[in-house]
């Protein structure tokens, strides 16, 4: 392990020296989240026709399979979902909201020098600007390597706390579990009662010292090289394209739109409003009346 550390340090020193002050790069990432739990629940629902199931699977694919662009320099980056045309309709807003809860939407800005991040989120027609400190992950480095494209990558693992507003790691409870206590008041009003949400997850990342940038997709950072792949057991984010020192420079700065909140405050807002929505649907017999966001 000591020899691996010395070799990695030597590689970093030689590579860093070749990077100019105005260095900038761009990486394309493909994100895929497993939908096995949702598909299993649909298959067990006898009321759903094959046509309904096919339509839901197509919509889930749009929510769970996304393409992102990461533009980065030496100290900061912006990570944004690739824009796609949405079909018009009343359900567009709801699917945009769910897409945000599945890791999409907004511009994720990271400044690794100041150890802060800023991300703009739209939730139920209200704009928020989440501003907080970057979570420090206790990465464990490994000498294990693999090739991603033309780059040699090294493996690293860490335990990461899960945000309550990120539903990618939520597991739908089994139908028999969900029915338990169905008549209780808590069951009727507690939106989260439908899901098992882990408090923390194990992350496996692959980074390349050949690009000595302390950056990666989403909120991932803290490794001695650009992170090209992340796997949390349910979502895989994989780099599919890298462009270094393009002549076209991108302005890397945080968004300014939305009500400024911390990550904890935003999580609490999302969970509370989803619980209110669940309660309203049940008391009105499924009537999809709007819920107004408070100020």
Within-domain flag for 229: yes
Q: pLDDT band at 90, cuts 50/70/90?
A: very low
Closest CA to 156 of 221, 203, 200: 203
Q: 114, exposed or middle or buried, with CB in 10 Å at 0-12, 13-18, 19+? A: exposed
Q: How confident is the model at residue 39 (pLDDT cuts 50, 70, 90)?
A: low
Higher pLDDT, 105 or 127: 127
Share of the chain above pLDDT 90, in %: 44
Average pLDDT over the chain reads 79
Its sign, for the CA torsion 72, 77, 78, 82, is positive
Contacting residues for 192 by C-beta, under 8 A, at least 6 apart: 271, 274, 275
Q: What is the pLDDT of residue 149?
A: 93
CB environment 201-225: b (16+ within 10 A), e (fewer): bebebbbbbebbbbbbbbbbbbbbb
Q: Which of 167, 240, 219 is nearest to 197 (CA)?
A: 167
Q: How many domains does the chain have?
A: 1
pLDDT single digits (tens) 126-159: 999 999 999 889 999 999 999 999 999 999 999 9
pLDDT score of 139 = 97
User: How would you classify residue 219: left for phi > 0, otherwise alpha for psi between -120 and 50, otherwise beta?
Assistant: alpha
* Within a domain: 289: no
Instruction: Tell me the mean pLDDT in the region 203-231.
Output: 96
Which domain range does residue 262 map to? Answer: 2-283
In this prediction, residues 118-133 reach a mean pLDDT of 92
Q: In the predicted model, is pLDDT for residue 5 greater than 60?
A: no
pLDDT value at residue 86 = 57
What is the C-alpha separation between 16 and 265, in angstroms, rounded? 38
Q: What is the pLDDT of residue 186?
A: 47
Instruction: Tell me which of 223 and 233 has the higher pLDDT.
Output: 223
Asked if the structure places residue 139 within a domain, the reply is yes
Phi, then psi, of 70 in degrees rounded to 5? -110, 115
Pick the more confident residue, 192 or 40: 40
Which has more pLDDT, 248 or 209? 209
122 near 293, Cβ under 8 Å? no
Q: How far apart are CA 263 and CA 133, in angstroms?
A: 9
Residue 262: which region, alpha, beta or left (left: phi > 0; alpha: psi -120 to 50)?
beta
- Alpha-carbon gap, residue 280 to 284, rounded angstroms: 6
pLDDT value at 103 more than 90:
no
Contact 171, 38 (CB under 8 A): no
DSSP 212: -
Where do the H-state alpha helices sit in the chain?
2-16, 36-43, 50-64, 91-101, 175-179, 185-189, 263-283
Stretch 50-58: mean pLDDT, rounded?
72
Cβ atoms of 227 and 205 closer than 8 Å:
yes
Domain assignment of residue 262, yes or no: yes
Residue 291, domain member (yes or no): no
Residue 181 falls within a domain, yes or no? yes
What is the average per-residue pLDDT within 50-74? Answer: 81
Stretch 261-281: mean pLDDT, rounded?
87
Report the C-alpha gap between 136 and 155 in whole angstroms.
18
């Amino acid at each position: 392990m000591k020899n691996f550390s010395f070799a990695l340090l030597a590689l970093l020193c030689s590579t860093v020296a070749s990077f100019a002050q105005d260095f900038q790069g761009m990486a394309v990432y493909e994100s895929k989240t497993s939908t096995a739990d949702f598909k299993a629940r649909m298959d067990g629902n006898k009321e759903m026709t094959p046509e309904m199931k096919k339509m839901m699977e197509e919509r889930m694919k749009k929510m769970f399979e996304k393409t992102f662009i990461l533009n980065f320099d030496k100290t900061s980056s912006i990570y944004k979902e690739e824009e796609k045309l949405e079909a018009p309709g009343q359900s567009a807003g709801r699917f945009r909201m769910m897409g945000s809860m599945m890791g999409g939407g907004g511009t994720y800005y990271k400044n690794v020098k100041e150890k802060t991040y800023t991300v703009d989120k739209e939730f139920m027609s209200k704009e928020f600007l989440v501003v907080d400190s970057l979570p420090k992950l206790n990465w464990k480095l490994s000498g294990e390597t693999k090739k991603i494209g033309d780059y040699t990558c090294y493996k690293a693992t860490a335990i990461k706390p899960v945000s309550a507003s990120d539903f990618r790691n939520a597991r739908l409870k089994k139908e028999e579990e969900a029915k338990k206590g169905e008549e209780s008041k808590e069951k009727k009003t507690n939106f989260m009662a439908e899901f098992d949400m882990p408090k923390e997850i194990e992350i496996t990342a692959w980074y390349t010292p050949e690009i000595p940038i302390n950056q990666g997709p989403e909120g991932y950072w803290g490794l001695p090289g650009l992170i090209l792949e992340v796997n949390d057991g349910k979502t895989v984010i994989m780099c599919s394209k890298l462009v270094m020192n393009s002549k076209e420079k991108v302005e890397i700065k945080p968004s300014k739109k939305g009500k400024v909140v911390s990550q904890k405050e935003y999580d609490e807002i999302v969970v509370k409003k989803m619980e209110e929505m669940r309660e309203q649907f049940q008391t009105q017999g499924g009537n999809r009346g709007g819920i107004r966001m408070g100020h």
